[in-house]
C-alpha cells in the first residue's frame, strides 16, 4: 500500500477534496487515508467522536443537493475512479465524554465511582497525560461486551456504506486482541477484501506482536525516528514482519513537519521519503509533504487556510519512488533486511533486502548525512548480494546504465543508490 493521508481539517469541505485526490493518484498512491469525519464532542478534536453515524458539519459542502452521507459517497466514487481506495480511522478505544453513548450505555465504559474513566498515556519523562474529553470503552470486562462488539461492527458497516474500504484502528494495542479478532472476522464475513491497519506506535514489543497477530493487514513501524544507526528499528521490523506488513512514514499528523525538524533541508525530505517508502512493505505520506509544508497539523485548530504555497516540489521524486516500489516486489514486501558493514565511510548506510523464494534482492545505499556529500566505494558491488544475477540501478537521481568494478560514487547530501537484481522485476 502507498497511502496518502488527506487530513480533512486541512482539505476543507468535501467539494475541496478532488484536487488532492487527483494529485495523490498522479503521484502513484493507491490508498487515501482520511482522519475521522464523524460528529465531534465539545472539545472539537477529530479523535473525540460523539456520534459515529453522523458527519461532522465542518466537512459538509453548503448548498449542496446531496445529503452529507451522499457527499461522502461522491468523494469515494471519485477516488475509486482514480484507482484510489479510501481508508478512515476506526476510533473505538474511546469516544467523546459528552457522547450520548455515555448516558445511554454506561455499561459499555470503564467506570470508576460510577463515572467513565479517561484514557491516558505515559510520556518518556514519566509524566501522565490524561485526555479528559474522552471516555474509555470497556472491551475487556464489560458484561455488555457482545453488544459493544455489535455496535462497533455496525459502525464499520456504516462506514463501508459510505465508500470506505479500509480502517486505521486508532490505539489498536489498547484493545484486547481477541476483540479485534472477532470484530475483523465479523466484518470480513461480508466484506472479505477489507483492509485493517493497527496503530501501534508507543506500545511495547509484546503488545506489538500480539496486536499484529490479531488479523491486521499492517501495523505502523518507527522508521521515521531512526537515525540510521543502532539496531532497534531492524529488531522491531524482524519482530512482526512474518505476522503483518508494516507502514513507514516520514511525518504524520502527530509529528512536526519534517521540513521544520530539519531546518528547511529539502535533501532530508528526499532522503526520508525514499527510505520510508522502500524499507518496509507499505508507506504513508501526509498531505503537504510533497510541497515541503511547515505548519504542523492539529486535530482541533488546523483549517484550509493553513495550506501553504509550495516551499519545494517533490511530486516528481515521489512519483518515481512509488513507481520503483510498484515495479520491484522486493521493495513492497516485508522481506528480511540486513545492514551490511561499510568500513570505508561510516556515513554510508547499506541495507540488503531479499526475497529468498524468488532470489530477488535490493540494495539501498544511503548517505546518512543530509547536509554533506559522502563518498561510497566498494571493490565489487556483487559481493554485497547473494545471487549472481545482474544488478540494475533504479535510483531516482542519475541512474547508471553500467555499474563498474570497483565502484566509486560521490553521494550528494542525503542521496541514495537503489540497486535491484533482475530477479526483482514484477512478473
Is 387's pLDDT higher than 80?
Answer: no
Q: For the stretch 123-158, what's the b/e string if a residue is b when 16 or more beta carbons lie within 10 angstroms of its beta carbon?
A: eeeeeeeebebbbbbbbeebeebeebbebbbebbee
Length of the chain in terms of residues written: 427
Q: State the average pLDDT over residues 67-79.
A: 99
Give 360's DSSP letter: E
pLDDT at 8: 99
**What φ, ψ does residue 341 adopt, rounded to 5°?**
-70, 140
For residues 84 and 29, is the Cβ–Cβ distance under 8 A? yes
- What number of other Cβ atoms are within 10 A of residue 338's Cβ? 11
CATH 2.60.40.1180 residue spans of the chain? 337-424
Residues 204-214 pLDDT 10s: 999 999 999 99
- State pTM to two decimals: 0.96
Where does the pLDDT of residue 52 fall: very low under 50, low under 70, confident under 90, or very high at 90 and above?
very high
Residues 296-306 pLDDT 10s: 999 999 999 99
Where does the pLDDT of residue 268 fall: very low under 50, low under 70, confident under 90, or very high at 90 and above?
very high
* Whole-Å CA distances, 50 to 8, 62, 233: 17, 22, 37
C-alpha cell at 200: 501501534
Residues 75-123 pLDDT 10s: 999 999 999 999 999 999 999 999 999 999 999 999 888 788 888 766 6
pLDDT at 118: 87
pLDDT at 126: 67
For residues 317 and 38, is the Cβ–Cβ distance under 8 A? no
Is the dihedral angle over the CA atoms 44, 45, 51, 52 positive or is it negative? positive
The dotted CATH code for 337-424 is: 2.60.40.1180
β-bridge mates for residue 154, sequence order: none
Q: In whole angstroms, give the CA distance from residue 233 to residue 222.
A: 7
DSSP string, 234-257: HHHHHHHTTT-EEEE-S--TTS--
- % the chain with pLDDT above 90: 89
Show the beta-strand stretches assigned E in 56-119.
85-90, 94-96, 111-112, 115-116
CATH 3.20.20.80 residue spans of the chain? 2-332
Nearest 5 degrees, angle CA 315-CA 321-CA 324?
140
* Whole-Å CA distances, 91 to 134, 228, 354: 11, 33, 36
132-136, 224-228, 357-361, 403-407: lowest mean pLDDT where? 357-361
Is 400's pLDDT higher than 80?
Answer: yes
Q: In whole angstroms, give the CA distance from residue 41 to residue 94.
A: 12
For residues 217 and 196, is the Cβ–Cβ distance under 8 A? yes
Q: In whole angstroms, give the CA distance from residue 340 to residue 205.
A: 25
Residues 230-244 pLDDT 10s: 999 999 999 999 999
Q: State the average pLDDT over residues 174-194.
A: 97
pLDDT at 115: 83
Q: Quick one: fold of 2-332?
A: TIM Barrel (3.20.20)
Is 427's pLDDT higher than 60?
Answer: no
Residues 141-175 pLDDT 10s: 889 999 999 999 999 999 999 999 999 999 999 99
For residues 97 and 135, is the Cβ–Cβ distance under 8 A? yes
Amino acid at each position: 500500500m502507498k497511502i496518502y493521508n488527506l487530513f480533512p481539517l486541512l482539505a476543507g469541505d468535501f467539494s475541496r477534496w478532488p484536487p488532492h485526490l487527483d494529485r495523490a493518484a498522479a503521484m502513484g498512491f493507491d490508498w487515501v487515508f482520511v482522519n475521522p469525519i464523524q460528529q465531534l464532542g465539545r472539545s472539537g478534536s477529530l479523535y473525540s467522536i460523539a456520534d459515529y453515524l453522523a458527519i461532522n458539519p465542518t466537512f459538509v459542502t453548503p448548498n449542496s443537493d446531496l445529503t452529507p452521507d451522499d457527499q461522502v459517497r461522491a468523494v469515494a466514487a471519485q477516488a475509486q475512479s482514480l484507482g484510489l481506495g479510501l481508508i478512515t480511522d476506526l476510533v473505538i478505544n474511546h469516544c467523546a465524554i459528552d457522547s450520548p453513548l455515555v448516558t445511554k450505555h454506561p455499561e459499555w465504559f470503564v467506570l470508576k465511582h460510577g463515572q467513565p474513566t479517561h484514557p491516558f498515556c505515559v510520556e518518556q519523562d514519566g509524566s501522565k497525560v490524561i485526555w479528559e474529553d474522552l471516555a474509555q470503552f470497556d472491551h475487556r470486562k464489560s458484561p455488555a461486551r457482545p453488544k459493544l462488539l455489535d455496535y462497533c461492527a455496525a459502525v464499520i458497516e456504516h462506514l463501508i456504506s459510505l465508500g470506505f474500504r479500509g480502517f486505521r484502528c486508532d490505539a489498536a494495542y489498547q484493545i484486547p486482541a481477541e476483540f479485534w479478532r472477532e470484530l475483523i472476522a465479523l466484518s470480513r464475513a461480508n466484506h472479505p477484501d477489507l483492509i485493517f491497519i493497527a496503530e501501534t506506535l508507543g506500545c511495547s514489543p509484546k503488545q506489538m506482536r500480539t496486536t499484529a497477530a490479531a488479523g491486521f493487514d499492517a501495523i505502523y513501524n518507527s522508521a521515521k525516528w531512526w537515525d540510521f544507526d543502532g539496531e532497534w528499528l531492524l529488531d522491531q521490523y524482524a519482530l512482526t514482519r512474518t505476522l503483518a506488513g508494516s507502514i513507514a512514514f516520514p511525518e504524520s499528523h502527530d509529528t512536526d513537519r519534517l521540513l521544520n525538524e530539519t531546518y528547511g533541508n529539502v535533501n532530508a525530505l528526499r532522503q526520508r521519503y525514499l527510505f520510508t517508502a522502500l524499507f518496509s512493505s507499505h508507506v504513508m505520506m501526509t498531505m503537504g509533504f510533497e510541497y515541503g509544508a511547515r505548519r504542523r497539523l492539529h486535530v482541533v485548530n488546523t483549517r484550509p487556510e493553513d495550506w501553504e504555497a509550495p516551499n519545494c516540489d517533490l511530486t516528481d521524486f515521489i512519483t518515481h519512488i512509488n513507481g520503483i516500489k510498484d515495479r520491484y516486489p522486493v521493495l513492497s514486501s516485508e522481506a528480511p533486511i540486513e545492514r551490511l558493514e561499510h568500513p570505508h565511510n561510516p556515513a554510508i548506510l547499506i541495507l540488503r533486502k531479499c526475497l529468498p523464494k524468488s532470489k530477488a534482492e535490493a540494495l539501498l545505499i544511503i548517505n546518512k548525512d543530509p547536509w554533506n556529500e559522502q563518498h561510497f566505494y566498494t571493490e565489487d558491488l556483487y559481493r554485497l548480494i547473494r545471487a549472481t544475477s545482474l544488478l540494475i540501478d533504479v535510483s531516482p537521481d542519475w541512474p547508471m546504465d553500467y555499474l563498474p568494478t570497483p565502484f566509486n560514487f560521490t553521494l550528494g547530501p542525503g542521496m541514495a543508490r537503489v540497486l535491484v537484481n533482475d530477479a526483482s522485476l514484477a512478473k
